[in-house]
Structure 1
């Protein structure tokens, strides 16, 4: 009954009850409600983002809290260690060994940074030189093409002028048929010169484009450059291993890198003093080696002839291709060769001196 009454003209609107809420809100008659609805949607989205950020911050706080708790425990353990006369010397050895580890890491990192700056400058210069050479060659080729087109243009113009001059001399009535022929030839010459002039303009435009062309931007070190730098880092890591292998200093430094101080134990005070003397001795020899740079360069060349890469764009050599370490490398003519039996030491697999952190 209500539906029937709602269809009556005039009074039907008083009996309509089923109006879809979404249609009422989205109606053009309620622009303010539509705006509030959009604002509500935006606020809900911001709320979700804020909740996600809050979760992330809570996780970071928890990590920092745990780190602080660990540091507090380590500090307490160190205080107890230093208060014990029999263990205090172990802490000193521990930090001296860590100093060696991070000094070697800093040495490798410095080499990588220095080489990267040098090679980047060199590659930029080479790229610019190649661009200028290619630009000059293309400009020379276009200039030759321009001269050819100019010569053709001069020949066509000369032929047209000659025909025009001959036509101007053929104005007697008995030159009627000759004049008709010359008029056709002049018209053909004028048509012939148009594409030549277009070629001329195209050549000049292309020459201008080549001359105005800017050098391409430098996109960073090449794969070959990064490979060379990474090999130099491996070579220096091997060199440092050989310098600190005496009395197992390198192994002790590696152990000190990977465990907390309160777990360090190198023996009684007398043994710790002996280790400290060994550390001073090998560290002094390393720092006093004036041939270090040449040895690392020679070792880098030696590695470059032996390492392999699994992929075309790979910049770190395959792990198995640096499975051994050649203790001594010398130069024979233009070649570098190993002088002794290789050692089964893989500095890359060991991640010695935090080597992987410096790779490009």
Structure 2
């Protein structure tokens, strides 16, 4: 009886220990979940603060614009300001379209090259397996010929006096039949391998290579530089950059006559933005010049270091006004690059 009570006590203690362990485990899980919720709360709180700050800035800009536009003499100044911002967005959009066209072209080239290499490698392996099949088949045919000769010889060895010769021929015949069976098995295996090679699916395209993305990005830089030179007439490119980096109340564009002249110039240049000759003229040479100067931070980086293009500004290839479009982040170029 005492033994039973002791056993029951041990079982109760074991059950209590299990419940205690489970309690501590649940407590640790609750603590971990609480910490995760706190982190999420702080993250959302930070996002809310940022959103509120952004809203306040937008409201302040709107109020400043309202106060400015309430003055009749400032109306033309505002028109120039927003025309310049619109031009900046148009250049950004144009860069994006250009980059997408180049991406598709480069992707097509790399995909074709990948398939060419795949087909070339498969054809090489098919040639190897076919050559091996021919050699093994020739060997099997040769063995089959020997088997036929041995069987014919064996059939002619009659009588007890040919017993030892017949046994020797039979042993040789057994060896050659075994070799022939092995050769046939080998041929079947080779045919299976050939079928497997023939049925290999085309490889999935892994995406543009680092070099492919660099090619596209360098062409985008060349086009951005071209746009800068194109819109430098009347200093429009610099004015557009100021319009997207500074508030409207900080900028003045002169008298009504000056503003009207600027608006006409902006519209005139914007109309020529999508002309095909603008893309083609000198871009290849410019891209080659950029590539000669471009330096990348590491083997995986696809955008040149902005400082590496400073030396290009004194080159002979770039005609017209020049600037380091990466350093000045013209046309929001970093948002266009392929990464």
Choose the corresponding residue for 2:317, options 338, 341, 355: 338
Q: Distance between the aligned counterparts of 1:216 and 1:150, measured in 2?
A: 32
After TM superposition, the structure 1 = structure 2 runs for residues 262-273 of structure 1, keeping only pairs within 5 Å, are 262-273=249-260
Cα 1:357–1:168 change in 2 (3 A) is same
Deviates more, 1:119-128 or 1:86-95: 119-128
Distance, in Å, in 1 between the alignment partners of 2:76 and 2:56 is: 25
Q: Identify the residue that residue 3 of structure 1 maps to in structure 2.
A: none
CA separation of 1:111/1:39 partners in 2, compared to 1, >3 Å: closer, same or farther? same
Shifted more, 161-170 versus 291-300: the winner is 291-300
- Which residue of structure 2 lines up, in the alignment, with residue 72 of structure 1? 59
User: Residues 118-197 of structure 1: matches in 2 within 5 Å?
Assistant: 118-197=105-184
Q: Paired residue for 1:274?
A: 261
1:306 to 292, 295, 320: 292
Q: Is the 8 A contact 1:309 1:315 kept in 2?
A: no
Inter-partner Cα distance in structure 2 for 1:72 and 1:301: 42
Q: Counterpart of 1:359?
A: 337
The correspondence for 1:350, drawn from 311, 320, 328, is 328
Q: Distance in 1 between matches of 2:185 and 2:5?
A: 79
In structure 2, relative to structure 1, the CA distance for the partners of 1:106 and 1:210 (3 Å cut) is: same
Aligned to 2:211: 224
- Return the TM-score normalized by structure 1: 0.81
3-state DSSP of counterpart to 1:348: coil
Instruction: Indicate the residue corresponding to 1:333 in structure 2.
Output: none
Q: Structure 2: 5+ residue runs without aligned partners?
A: none
Q: Which runs of 5+ in 1 are unaligned?
A: 1-8, 329-336
Give the structure 1 partner of residue 280 of structure 2: 294
Q: Equivalent residue of 1:315, what SS?
A: coil
* C-alpha spacing 1:314/1:281, structure 2 compared with 1 (3 Å): same
1:265–1:132 CA distance, 2 compared to 1 (3 A): same
C-alpha spacing 1:350/1:23, structure 2 compared with 1 (3 Å) = farther
SS of the aligned residue for 2:90 comes to helix
Q: State the match for 2:310 in structure 1.
A: 323
CA distance in 2, matches of 1:298, 1:116: 16
Partner of 1:345: helix, strand, or coil?
coil
Q: What is the CA–CA distance in structure 2 between the aligned matches of 1:22 and 1:69, rounded to whole Å?
A: 64
Q: Aligned partners of 2:129, 2:62: CA distance in 1, in Å?
A: 75
The structure whose RCO (Cα within 8 Å, separation 6+) is larger is 2
2:48 to 40, 47, 61: 61
- Taking a change above 3 Å as real, the CA distance of residues 209 and 10 of structure 1, as seen in their structure-2 partners, is closer
Given that residues 289 and 317 in structure 2 are in contact (C-alpha distance below 8 angstroms), is that contact kept between their aligned partners in structure 1?
no
The answer to whether the 8 Å contact 2:222/2:287 transfers is no
**1:96 CA drift (Å):** 0.8
**1:285 Cα deviation from its structure 2 partner:** 4.2
Count, aligned residues: 333
Per the alignment, residue 16 of structure 2 pairs with: 25
Q: Which region of structure 1 is more displaced relative to structure 2, 230-239 or 118-127?
A: 118-127
Contact persistence 2:95–2:220 (CA under 8 A): yes
3-state SS, counterpart of residue 171 of structure 1: coil
Q: What whole-Å deviation, never above 9, does each CA across 1:48-70 have from its counterpart, x for those lacking one?
A: 22222111111111111111111
Deviation at 1:304, TM superposition (A): 6.1
Distance in 2, Cα, partners of 1:142 & 1:173: 49
Partner of 2:189: 202
Structure with greater proportional helix content: 2
In 2, distance between residues paired with 1:25 and 1:192?
74
Verify: 1:102 aligned to 2:80, yes or no: no
Q: CA deviation at 1:12?
A: 10
Question: 2:28 & 2:62 partners in 1: Cα distance?
Answer: 51
The CA deviation at 1:191 is: 3.6
